[in-house]
C-alpha cells in the first residue's frame, strides 16, 4: 500500500509553512508563537500516525500546549505508548518533516515511510488533548487534517478535549496497558482523578486535617481539575481543603500565566500579582498545563519564601527513605534522587546527609526520567517544580511479596503501595505532586515553615548572556564543567575558589544564541558578584555586546568589559535597584538613578570598568 500523494498535497496546501521559519523538535516538542504553527500541527498529525503504525497500532498521544509560555504561544508534543516522551530517535524525523517544503511534502512522506519501514496497512490510534489557549481549536483542526492526509481507513482518533498534559500522558499509558498485567488504570479523565484520590486517601485516612491550601491555577487548564479534585476530596472526607485562585480560564483575554503560575513565582521569586496570603499560609502555583508545581509562603515578617522543586525532592526523599526502612527493605532496595546542575547546593548536601545517593544529569526531563528509572525508587525534580517519583516493577513486586512481622512494617508497606499509585509514573504532574506533598505534610502535621526548615538554600543567581555562537561552548560532567572555550573553566574555577560554598557553571542554551551562567554562594551579594564575574569572563572573550539604550554601572563590576546581563531569577525591589547611571563621555562622573523594571521582568545591567 502506498500513500495518496494528491490527498497529502491538497490538504497540505491548506496549511502552508511560513517563509524562512525553521522548526526544531526539542524536549518540549515544537513551541512558538501560535501564528507560525499551523503547518507544524499538520505535519505532526502525519508523524503521529507513522509512529503508531510503526508500533503495531499502539496508541500515541498528541498534546497541544505551550505550558508556562504566554497565551499567544502554543506548541505540540508527541507521547509514546508507555506514556513517556517521544523516542529521541524520532525527534529528528519530526523536525525534518516540519521543515519540508510544501511542494515536496508528499514525496518526503513516502520517503520517510520507506526509511522507517512502516507498514502502511497497519492500524493507528491517536489520543489528543489540548490546554485552554484560544489558538487550540485552530491547532486541533490542522492536526486532524494531517492525520486525515495519511489515513488508510484504519486510523482511530480519540479527542479528550481540554486536559492537562499529565492527564494525556496517563491516558496514553492506560489505554495501551488496559487488560494486561501492567494495567495502569481506567483510560478516562475520571479514572485518572479517581486513582489519585484513592491513593491519597489511603495515605491520610484517619489523620487530622491541616490548614487549607491556596492553589494558583495560572488561569489555565489546571483550574477545572483543581475544582474537581477539591470536590472529590470532600466526598471522601479527606483531611485536605483546596482553595483555588487565579482560576479564570476564559480564552482570549491574556490571563493564562500572566502574573501568576509556577514559572512567574519561581523565576521572579514573587507572589502572584495581587495575591497576598497571610503569615505562614501554605500556597502552591501550577503552570499553564499543570505539569509543574512550586510551593511558597510569607513568613511572620512578611518575607517571601519559595519551596521549589529542590525542596519538594528533599521532602519526598526523606519520607520515602523512612518508609523503606520501616518496611524492612533497606538492604534490598535502593532509593536515589536525580538532579541537574541547577539544583541548589544546600539541597544536595541535605540529601547526601540522609545517606541518599544523588545522580546529576544534563538539563532536560528525558535525562532525569531515564536516570530515575535506574533506582528501585527514583525521585527526580527540576528546580522549576517539574518532577515525580518512579517505582520500579521489581520494587513493587518486592513490597507486595514481603510478609510483615509487625504492624508498623505492614503500615509502611501499604503506604509504599499508595505512594506508587499516587505518583505519576509517566511524567511530572502538578496534581499528583501536590497530593504527594500534602500527604506527607498531613502525616507530619507540618506547616510550610517546618518543611522549609529542612535546610536553607544558598543564595543563587541565574544570568543569561548573549553570545555570537553558542556552539562554541561545550560541557561535560552533566553540564557543570566547560570543555570549550579552552581554559575558560580554569578561570571560572579561580573565581569560585574565592567564595565560601561558591559554585558556578556556564552552559549553552538549547534554543537561542546565549549561555546561562549560574552562581551560588553563602550570601546574596557574593552570589551576584560571582555570577557577574563569570559573565564578565565571557564578554572579555567574545564579541557579545548588544548596544543598549541606557547604560548603568553596578557595584559588582569586575571585568574590563561592557556587559549586558538579564537577571532571570528575581526581580529586584526599588531599594535594591539603586544603581549608578553612566555617561561614557563623562569619565568617572556617575549620577545616581533608579532603574525601572521592564514588563518582561528582566533587568538589563551593564558592568562598566576602566572607563
Q: Binding site annotation covers 523?
A: no
C-alpha span between 489 and 494 (Å, rounded): 9
Helix 38-54 × helix 105-115 angle, to 10°: 30
Q: Binding site annotation covers 508?
A: yes
Q: Binding site annotation covers 24?
A: no
C-alpha span between 432 and 421 (Å, rounded): 10
Q: Binding site annotation covers 509?
A: yes
Q: Binding site annotation covers 43?
A: no
C-alpha span between 91 and 97 (Å, rounded): 10
Q: Binding site annotation covers 384?
A: yes
135 an active-site residue? no
Cis status of the peptide bond prior to 546, with omega within 30 of 0: no
Three cell numbers written together for 548 = 543598549
C-alpha span between 308 and 282 (Å, rounded): 13
Q: Binding site annotation covers 285?
A: no
C-alpha span between 546 and 542 (Å, rounded): 12
Radius of gyration of the chain (CA): 25
Q: Indicate the DSSP class of residue 585.
A: G
Give the residue among 84, 73, 71, 15 at the shortest CA–CA distance from 45: 15
C-alpha span between 260 and 479 (Å, rounded): 30
| Sequence-distant (≥ 6) Cβ neighbours of residue 599 within 8 angstroms | none
**Are 506 and 474 a contacting pair, CB within 8 Å?**
no
Q: Binding site annotation covers 287?
A: yes
**Are 168 and 424 a contacting pair, CB within 8 Å?**
no
CA distances for 96 relative to 49, 105, 108, 208, angstroms: 16, 10, 9, 56
Cα 344 to chain centroid, rounded: 16
Dihedral, CA atoms, 222, 224, 225, 230, nearest 10 degrees? 120
H or E, element range at 389: strand 387-391
C-alpha span between 460 and 274 (Å, rounded): 26
Q: Binding site annotation covers 382?
A: yes
Given the residues 9, 32, 67, 560, the one annotated as active site: 67
**Are 605 and 579 a contacting pair, CB within 8 Å?**
yes
For residue 331, count other CB atoms closer than 10 A to its CB.
Answer: 7
Give the residue among 12, 17, 13 at the shortest CA–CA distance from 30: 17
- The binding site for Mg(2+) comprises 67, 287, 289, 291
- The binding site for substrate comprises 382-384, 507-511, 516
Residues noted as catalytic? 67
- The binding site comprises 67, 287, 289, 291, 382-384, 507-511, 516
Amino acid at each position: 500500500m502506498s500513500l495518496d500523494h494528491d490527498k497529502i498535497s491538497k490538504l497540505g496546501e491548506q496549511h502552508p509553512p511560513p517563509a524562512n521559519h525553521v522548526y526544531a523538535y526539542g524536549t518540549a516538542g515544537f513551541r512558538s508563537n501560535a501564528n507560525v504553527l499551523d503547518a507544524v500541527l499538520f505535519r505532526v498529525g502525519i508523524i503521529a500516525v507513522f509512529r503508531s503504525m510503526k508500533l503495531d497500532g499502539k496508541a500515541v498521544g498528541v498534546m497541544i500546549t505551550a505550558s508556562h509560555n504566554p497565551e499567544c504561544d502554543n506548541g505540540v508534543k508527541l507521547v509514546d505508548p508507555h506514556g513517556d516522551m517521544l523516542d529521541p530517535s524520532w525527534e529528528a524525523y519530526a523536525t525534518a518533516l516540519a521543515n519540508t517544503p510544501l511542494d515536496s511534502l508528499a514525496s518526503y512522506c513516502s520517503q520517510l515511510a520507506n526509511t522507517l519501514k512502516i507498514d502502511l496497512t497497519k492500524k493507528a490510534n491517536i489520543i489528543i488533548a489540548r490546554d485552554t489557549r484560544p489558538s487550540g481549536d485552530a491547532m486541533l483542526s490542522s492536526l486532524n487534517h494531517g492525520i486525515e492526509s495519511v489515513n488508510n481507513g484504519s486510523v482511530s482518533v480519540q479527542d479528550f478535549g481540554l486536559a492537562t498534559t499529565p492527564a494525556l500522558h496517563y491516558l496514553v499509558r492506560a489505554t495501551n496497558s488496559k487488560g494486561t498485567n501492567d494495567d495502569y488504570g481506567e483510560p478516562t479523565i475520571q479514572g485518572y482523578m479517581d486513582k489519585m484520590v484513592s491513593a491519597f486517601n489511603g495515605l491520610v485516612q484517619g489523620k487530622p486535617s491541616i490548614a487549607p491550601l491556596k492553589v494558583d491555577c495560572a488561569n489555565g487548564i489546571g483550574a477545572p481539575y483543581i475544582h474537581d479534585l477539591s470536590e472529590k476530596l470532600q466526598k471522601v472526607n479527606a483531611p485536605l481543603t483546596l482553595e483555588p485562585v487565579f482560576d479564570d480560564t476564559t480564552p482570549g483575554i491574556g490571563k493564562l500565566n500572566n502574573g501568576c503560575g509556577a514559572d512567574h513565582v519561581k523565576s521572579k521569586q514573587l507572589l502572584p500579582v495581587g495575591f497576598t496570603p497571610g503569615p505562614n499560609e501554605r500556597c502552591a502555583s501550577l503552570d499553564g498545563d499543570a505539569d509543574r508545581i512550586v510551593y511558597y509562603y510569607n513568613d511572620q515578617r512578611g518575607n517571601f519564601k519559595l519551596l521549589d522543586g529542590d525542596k519538594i525532592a528533599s521532602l519526598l526523599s526523606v519520607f520515602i527513605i523512612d518508609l523503606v526502612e520501616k518496611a524492612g527493605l533497606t538492604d534490598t532496595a535502593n532509593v536515589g534522587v536525580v538532579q541537574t546542575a541547577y539544583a541548589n547546593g544546600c539541597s544536595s548536601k541535605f540529601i547526601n546527609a540522609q545517606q541518599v545517593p544523588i545522580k546529576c544529569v544534563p538539563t532536560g526531563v528525558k535525562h532525569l526520567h531515564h536516570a530515575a528509572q535506574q533506582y528501585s525508587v527514583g525521585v527526580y525534580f527540576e528546580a522549576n517544580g517539574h518532577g515525580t517519583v518512579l517505582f520500579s516493577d521489581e520494587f513493587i513486586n518486592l513490597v507486595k511479596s514481603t510478609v510483615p512481622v509487625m504492624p508498623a512494617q505492614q503500615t509502611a508497606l501499604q503506604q509504599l503501595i499508595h505512594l506508587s499509585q499516587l505518583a505519576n509514573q509517566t511524567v511530572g504532574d502538578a496534581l499528583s505532586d501536590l497530593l504527594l506533598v500534602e500527604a506527607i505534610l498531613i502525616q507530619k502535621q507540618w506547616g510550610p515553615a517546618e518543611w522549609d526548615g529542612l535546610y536553607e538554600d544558598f543564595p543563587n543567581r541565574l544570568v543569561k548572556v548573549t553570545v555570537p555562537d553558542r556552539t562554541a561552548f561545550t560541557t561535560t560532567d552533566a553540564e557543570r564543567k566547560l570543555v570549550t572555550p579552552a581554559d575558560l573553566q580554569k578561570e571560572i574555577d579561580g573565581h569560585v575558589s574565592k567564595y565560601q560554598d561558591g559554585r558556578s557553571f556556564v552552559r549553552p542554551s538549547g534554543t537561542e544564541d546565549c549561555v546561562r551562567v549560574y552562581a551560588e554562594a553563602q550570601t546574596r551579594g557574593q552570589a551576584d558578584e560571582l555570577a557577574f564575574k563569570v559573565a564578565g569572563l565571557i564578554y572579555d572573550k567574545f564579541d557579545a555586546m548588544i548596544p543598549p539604550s541606557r547604560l548603568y554601572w553596578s557595584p559588582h563590576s569586575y571585568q574590563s568589559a561592557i556587559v549586558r546581563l538579564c537577571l532571570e531569577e528575581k526581580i529586584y525591589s526599588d531599594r535594591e535597584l539603586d544603581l549608578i547611571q553612566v555617561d561614557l563621555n563623562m569619565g568617572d562622573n556617575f549620577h545616581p538613578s533608579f532603574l525601572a523594571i521592564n514588563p518582561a521582568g528582566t533587568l538589563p545591567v551593564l558592568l562598566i570598568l576602566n572607563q
